[in-house]
Homo-oligomer: A and B are copies of this chain.
Amino acid sequence: MVPARDTYHHGDLHRALVDAGLDLARVGGAKSVVLREATRRTGVTARAAYRHFADREALVRAVARAALDHMGTAILAGQTGVTDPVDLLREVGRGYIAFALDEPGWFDVAFFAVREFVGSGSGTGSGIGSDTGIGSGVGPVAPPAGAEAAPSRLLRSALDALVDAGMLGPERVLPAASMCWSGVHGFATLATRGPLAGLPRSALDAQADRLVDDLVAGVTR
C-alpha cells in the first residue's frame, strides 16, 4: 500500500499529501481527510506534513480546491461538442449534479470542508474562496484564483453565451445564476446528504434532468 521511499527526501510531498487527502475525501468526505492517515499513506511521519501545511485545516483546504478542480473538469468534459447556448447551460446543471452523485465525497469536501457553517457574527471572507463571486451583485466580479474551470465560472460563461445569443437580458444574468446555482446545489445536497439520499440513482437522475430542464426554462423564458 505504502510505496516505500528509497530517498530521504520525498520529492513532492505537498502534492502527495493532497493526493492522499483526495483519496480519503473520496470515500468519506471532508471529515475523512485525516492528517495522520494522509501521511501514513504517503509513507511519511505525521510531523512531515507540517513542513508543507500550517495545520490540518490548510491541508483540507488544499484538498477542497483540488476536488473543485476535478468538478470543473468533469463539467467541462460534459460540454464537449455542445455549442447551442441553451444546451451549454443544461450541461452545466447536469454535470454539476452528476458530479455530486458520482463523487459525493469530493462534492462534500469541495463545499463543506472548512466552514462547517457560518457561526455567529460576520464571516471573515467569502467562504471557500475559489468558487465565489457569482451573484454577489456588485459590479464586475474578481476572477477566482487559479480555478479556470470552476463550476461557477462555467455557469457564468453559459449565461453570458445566452446573453450573446439574445436569449437573456444582461440584467438577468445575476438572478439567473443565483437560481441555477441554488437549484442544482440544493438538489445535489438533498440527494447526497439530505432526505433524498436513499433514493435509487435512476430516480435521482430522472428527477435531476427534469429539474435542470425546469431551471433552464425558467431562465430563458
Residues of A bordering B, CB below 8 Å: 27-29, 31, 104-105, 107-108, 111-112, 115-120, 122-129, 131-133, 135-137, 152, 175, 178-179, 181-190, 192-200, 203, 206-207, 210-211, 214-215, 217-218, 221
Known contacts A126-B199, A203-B137; is-contact A115 B179 (Cβ 8 Å): no
Copies of this chain, count? 2
Query: Shortest 4 CB-CB distances between A and B: which pairs?
Result: A186-B186, A218-B218, A182-B186, A126-B198
Interface centre among A107, A199, A221 (most CB of B within 10 A): A199
Interface centre among A120, A136, A190 (most CB of B within 10 A): A190
Interface centre among A104, A195, A215, A217 (most CB of B within 10 A): A195
- Give chain B nearest CB distance to A152 CB in angstroms: 7
B179 x A211 contact (CB < 8 A): yes
Interface centre among A111, A117, A119 (most CB of B within 10 A): A117
Distance of A28 Cα from B182 Cα, bound (Å): 24
The chain B residue sitting closest to A217, CB to CB, is B218
The chain B residue sitting closest to A123, CB to CB, is B198
The chain B residue sitting closest to A125, CB to CB, is B198
B187 x A184 contact (CB < 8 A): no
Interface centre among A104, A132, A194 (most CB of B within 10 A): A194
A203 x B116 contact (CB < 8 A): no
Distance of A174 Cα from B182 Cα, bound (Å): 18
Taking A108-B117, A133-B195, A218-B218 as given, write out 4 further A-B residue pairs in contact, using a Cβ cutoff of 8 Å, ordered by the A residue number.
Answer: A126-B195, A132-B198, A185-B186, A186-B189
